[in-house]
């Protein structure tokens, strides 16, 4: 019975995504984006999809400086933004533009010129897929690294959409050797590494709170020798985004690999926090970012000292 329920749910999900994709490709881009914003509002106001998680996260991040009305407004605009972004992605981003990239691409140009590939730290913020597509369209071979979706049919549609944007994909099942080989082939590898890390081993500060982070970007950059950039693609108007790329230097080796990893991750998360503070409605607050954590159970002495600083 459970398998039958899952089968039915997956078929309904697939039919819904295919229908929305057909709609997004068949109407003017502004209509598709507006419809997505309306869908986001329905999820927020009617179905209250993950509302408690969003409200908790916003309260942790901004509760000390913003009123309940302000937090409610950010939450609503967050749902509208991601609804619009989802439909823009399904439509293949027709009519969606990014600001002229000449100045913002310079850190990527310098990193790419080293000939070792580039590790791109990004986050579930703004329109991260459009950021990758813009980088690929500018002539930089681009691959993203991430997990698969639970619904195989929807995952296949996702892969098809990324391929149409000239973005390659590697998954968590691929070996580190494959990742390093991909970088050394001269590709930019984008990693959205801002979500809660299930291993709960390394913690940095994000909005003053200790949050778990993935060691993946640091390990990959150190193993391959590839430089790192941080990228964000922020909505500035209807169908218009601004892509910004910043250099993230590796810390000078201290002899303590864990502390070096934490310094690197903190540099990335500090850049992300500054972006989220400027555009809080464009961060994916729908995931459990701030969790109750028994720090004494997970943190090493070095990590505790790092957070204490």
Q: Would you say 197 and 94 are in contact if contact means Cβ atoms under 8 Å apart? A: no
Worst-scoring range by mean pLDDT, 26-35, 188-197, 246-255, 288-297? 288-297
Q: What is the pTM of this model?
A: 0.94
Worst-scoring range by mean pLDDT, 128-142, 231-245, 295-309? 295-309
Q: Is the pLDDT of residue 199 over 70?
A: yes
* E-state strands within the chain: 97-98, 118-122, 142-146, 167-171, 188-192, 203-206, 209-212, 228-237, 240-248
DSSP 103: T
Radius of gyration of the chain (CA): 20
Q: Would you say 120 and 247 are in contact if contact means Cβ atoms under 8 Å apart? A: no
Q: Would you say 84 and 156 are in contact if contact means Cβ atoms under 8 Å apart? A: no
C-alpha to C-alpha distance for 162 and 97, rounded to whole angstroms: 17
Element (H, E) at 132: helix 128-137
C-alpha to C-alpha distance for 205 and 303, rounded to whole angstroms: 11
**What confidence tens digit (pLDDT) does each residue in 77-136 have?**
999 999 999 999 999 999 998 876 545 789 999 999 999 999 999 999 999 999 999 999
Worst-scoring range by mean pLDDT, 2-11, 108-117, 125-134, 164-173? 2-11
Query: What are 142's strand-pairing partners?
Result: 167, 188
pLDDT at 133: 95
Q: Would you say 111 and 182 are in contact if contact means Cβ atoms under 8 Å apart? A: no
Question: In percent, how much of the chain has pLDDT > 70?
Answer: 96
Q: Would you say 248 and 229 are in contact if contact means Cβ atoms under 8 Å apart? A: yes
Closest CA to 132 of 116, 143, 147: 143
Closest CA to 110 of 284, 228, 15: 228
């Amino acid at each position: 019975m459970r398998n039958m329920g899952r089968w039915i749910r997956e078929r309904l999900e697939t039919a819904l995504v295919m229908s929305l994709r057909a709609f997004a490709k068949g109407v003017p881009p502004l209509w598709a984006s507006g419809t997505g914003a309306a869908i986001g509002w329905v999820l927020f106001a009617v179905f209250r999809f993950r509302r408690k998680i969003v409200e908790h996260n916003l309260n942790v991040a901004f509760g000390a400086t913003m009123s309940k009305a302000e937090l409610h407004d950010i939450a609503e605009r967050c749902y509208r933004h991601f609804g619009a972004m989802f439909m823009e992605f399904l439509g293949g981003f027709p009519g969606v533009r990014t600001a002229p990239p000449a100045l913002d691409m310079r850190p990527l140009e310098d990193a790419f010129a080293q000939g070792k590939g580039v590790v791109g730290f990004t986050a579930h913020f703004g329109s991260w897929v459009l950021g990758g597509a813009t980088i690929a369209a500018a002539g930089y071979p681009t691959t993203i690294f991430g997990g698969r979706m639970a619904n195989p049919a929807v995952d296949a549609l996702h892969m098809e959409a990324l391929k149409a944007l000239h973005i390659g994909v590697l998954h968590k099942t691929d070996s580190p050797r494959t990742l390093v080989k991909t970088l050394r082939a001269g590709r930019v590898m984008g990693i959205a590494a801002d979500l809660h890390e299930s291993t709960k081993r390394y913690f940095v500060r994000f909005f003053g709170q200790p949050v778990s982070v993935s060691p993946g970007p640091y390990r990959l950059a150190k193993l391959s020798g590839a430089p790192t950039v941080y990228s964000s693609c922020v909505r500035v108007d209807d169908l218009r985004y601004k892509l910004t790329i910043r250099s993230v230097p590796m810390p000078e080796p201290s002899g303590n690999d864990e502390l070096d990893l934490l310094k690197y991750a903190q540099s990335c998360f500090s850049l992300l926090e500054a972006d989220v503070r400027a555009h809080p409605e464009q961060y994916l607050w729908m995931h459990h970012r701030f969790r109750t954590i028994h720090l004494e159970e997970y943190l090493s002495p070095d990590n505790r000292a790092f957070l204490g600083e």
